[in-house]
Structure 1
Amino acid sequence: MKHLFLVNPAAGKRGSTEALLRRVEETFSPLGLEHEVVLTSSAGDAERLARRAACSGGPVRIYACGGDGTLNEVVNGAAGYPNAAVTNVPKGTGNDFLRIFGANYAARFSDLAALSRGPQAAFDLMDCNGKLGIGVICAGVDARVAADVHRYKRLPLVTGPGAYLLSLGVNVLLTDIARPTVVQAGLDRLEEETSIICICNGRYYGGGFMPVGDAQPDDGVLDMVVVPRVSRFTFFRLVGAYAKGRYRSHPEVIRHFHGPAFSFSSPEELVAVIDGEVMRAKSFTVRISERKVAFFYPGDLDYRGEN
């Protein structure tokens, strides 16, 4: 079996790429395992390289070394190939998908030896207008905050946390948090202004928000929560409950749906963020994909519940 490391050198702190390359050699060379390390140089590289490895036909384990965006690219490249399995070595600013494996996920997924021999499971994937995702899709004010962070990062003297706070202030305090939408969930149809639309295959996004704590990545269905237009006071009052998955305690505001497919549209352009990747359209359809992806992980961890 081949072990392919696709490393995003732009992710993580200065020196993290060099440290990771040393760990790969120190771990795999003594074990005599066939391995290759490739540094990506532009958007789409990880997807292309993962697909090329999967198309080879030989058994391969692909390590997405970066954040959720790097994992998303690798998943899109390897999905549907039974000979390929993927994982995520945490190197980016956000590795939200891995949080389903418990509080110690960062340390355990950084243990390359444990990863190399770990079990794998067939995970569902979400198809969002043809783009695959493994974790969470958000399409409300939270998506607009996430999408604008990159724009504010380019401003002089603005750091990562500063860019997030700036985006949060502009999108929540200075602009309207709701958009007119039509949401279709099976036989249920909602025509109203919405503040948040969030569809979960995984459980976490946005640095630790967990809208649906019992969402599972291998149960063949998706969970969607919808928050209608609310006042800013109500928004900030309930954001903690939303982040901890307490939607059942607030059914009058946080609506929950369970099913294989959902759609939402608006006369205005909507922003959706799928595993950290930004999409823009007036209409989105999200469904369970026919393709799955094999995901491998340290054998002492479990993804089925909070650990």
Structure 2
Amino acid sequence: MTHIFIINPYSGQSSLAGDLRDRLSRISGLNYYVFNTRCAGYEKDLVGKVLHFFQGEKLRFYCCGGSGTMRNMLCGFDDLSDAEVAFFPCGMTNDFLKAFGADAERFKNIEELINGDIINVDYIKTNCGYALNTISFGLDSNTVRLTDEYRILKIFNDNLPYTMAIIHAILLSQQLSYDIEIDGKKVSDITAETIFGNGNIFGGNLYFSDSDDITDGTGGYLNAPKLNTIEEIKMMGALIKRDMDYGRKICRCGEFQRFGIRRTDGSPFMLNFDGELQSGITSLEAQIVQRGLKFVVPKGIKVPKGITVPKETEGGGGNE
């Protein structure tokens, strides 16, 4: 097997990514290659080039970054059923791994990950690419867009750009009307925030659903209709506190297998795929693909319910 490490050197915890080359060089017999991303979205091109160059070889791809790096990497595959991927978390948010509870920290042990087990997990397939954890729009997508405008503040604190963007998005929120279809049921409303998730946490600590099974073929959603500024702040506070009772009072919540999104006036709109913005979308059609992705976990980890770990998994063998 050849191990392909795709590193985002601009990720939130860049020191982890920077130390990785040295750690890999110390692993005896590992057959591997390391690639750095050059810009946002470059992961997709890298995967395509590697698949072409190593055609016919057994490959395992490691995302060394955050949620957005993983999303971009997945979009480099034409067919995810042929992919085998691992997540070495270096980003500001690595929300999908929170499904593994306290064991999520073990994904930072690259040696354990290289010698790990393969499990099959769900992912979200759309006509605009893939997502592993969430697809959202409204307050959240505006926050991601504004984070870039405040990026210079990162010199004071890594989380400051994101914090300032949240405040800006709440104070200047623009709520628009969308037509949303969830498993055949249509919803049309002015929307403050809508989240569809395979996991149930996004943005680092925002809890939006009780649906946390990443193998059952269903996801959870939260759809907040028109809210004023005070209500938006209360909603954000409830998501941080995991207060779904409050969330259900002001939002539509439930589970889904398929969903569709379009602006009521037909205009293009912007979506947040796992922390990566995609604009110019006129219509989105999406579905959960049950256990469609081969996902590497550290050996012996406590896996989410419903998953069977194979008795043997092929490991690695050394060059760069």
Aligned to 1:62: 61
> What is the letter of the counterpart of residue 75 of structure 1?
L
Aligned to 1:188: 185
Aligned to 2:134: 136
What is the DSSP-based 3-state SS (H/G/I as helix, E as strand, rest coil) of the residue aligned with 1:124? strand
Aligned to 1:35: 32
The answer to whether structure 1 residue 255 and structure 2 residue 252 are counterparts is yes
- CA displacement 1:138-178 (0-9 Å, x = unmatched): 112122112210122157977543322332222212x2453
CA spacing shift, 1:103–1:44, aligned 2, 3 Å: same
Unaligned stretches of 5+ in structure 1?
none
Map of 1:149-298 to 2, 5 A cutoff?
A: 149-154=147-152, 160-173=158-171, 175-248=172-245, 250-266=247-263, 267=265, 269-280=268-279, 281-289=281-289, 292-298=292-298
Q: Which has the higher contact order (CA 8 A, sep 6+)?
A: 2
Q: Is contact 2:117–2:296 with CA below 8 Å preserved after alignment? A: yes
The answer to whether structure 1 residue 74 and structure 2 residue 73 are counterparts is yes
Q: Is contact 1:62–1:87 with CA below 8 Å preserved after alignment? A: yes
CA spacing shift, 1:199–1:303, aligned 2, 3 Å: farther
Q: Deviation at 1:11?
A: 2.0
Aligned to 1:92: 91
Q: Deviation at 1:121?
A: 1.7
Q: Is contact 2:83–2:294 with CA below 8 Å preserved after alignment? A: yes
Q: Is contact 2:215–2:291 with CA below 8 Å preserved after alignment? A: no
Q: Deviation at 1:240?
A: 3.2
CA distance in 2, matches of 1:141, 1:74: 25
Aligned to 1:116: 114
CA spacing shift, 1:289–1:250, aligned 2, 3 Å: closer
Moved more, 207-216 or 49-58: 49-58
CA distance in 2, matches of 1:115, 1:295: 11
Aligned to 2:318: none
What is the DSSP-based 3-state SS (H/G/I as helix, E as strand, rest coil) of the residue aligned with 1:77? coil
CA distance in 1, matches of 2:88, 2:220: 26
> What is the letter of the counterpart of residue 295 of structure 1?
F
* TM-score using structure 1 length: 0.86
CA spacing shift, 1:223–1:198, aligned 2, 3 Å: same
CA distance in 2, matches of 1:164, 1:230: 21
Q: Is contact 2:121–2:295 with CA below 8 Å preserved after alignment? A: yes
Q: Is contact 1:78–1:85 with CA below 8 Å preserved after alignment? A: no
Identity %: 23
Q: Deviation at 1:232?
A: 2.4
CA spacing shift, 1:13–1:127, aligned 2, 3 Å: closer
- CA displacement 1:242-275 (0-9 Å, x = unmatched): 3455435543312123222112222355331111
CA distance in 2, matches of 1:71, 1:212: 22
> What is the letter of the counterpart of residue 213 of structure 1?
D
Q: Deviation at 1:45?
A: 3.2
What is the DSSP-based 3-state SS (H/G/I as helix, E as strand, rest coil) of the residue aligned with 1:166? helix
> What is the letter of the counterpart of residue 108 of structure 2?
S
Aligned to 2:315: none
CA distance in 2, matches of 1:158, 1:237: 28
CA distance in 2, matches of 1:103, 1:141: 29
Q: Is contact 1:57–1:83 with CA below 8 Å preserved after alignment? A: no
Q: How many residues are paired up?
A: 300
CA distance in 1, matches of 2:115, 2:198: 25
Q: Is contact 1:67–1:91 with CA below 8 Å preserved after alignment? A: yes
What is the DSSP-based 3-state SS (H/G/I as helix, E as strand, rest coil) of the residue aligned with 1:65? strand
What is the DSSP-based 3-state SS (H/G/I as helix, E as strand, rest coil) of the residue aligned with 1:20? helix
Unaligned stretches of 5+ in structure 2?
306-320
- CA displacement 1:36-75 (0-9 Å, x = unmatched): 2122223343223334444523222211111112111222
What is the DSSP-based 3-state SS (H/G/I as helix, E as strand, rest coil) of the residue aligned with 1:169? helix
The CA RMSD measured in Å over matched residues stands at 2.7
> What is the letter of the counterpart of residue 298 of structure 2?
P
Q: Deviation at 1:80?
A: 2.9
Aligned to 1:101: 100
Q: Deviation at 1:87?
A: 1.0
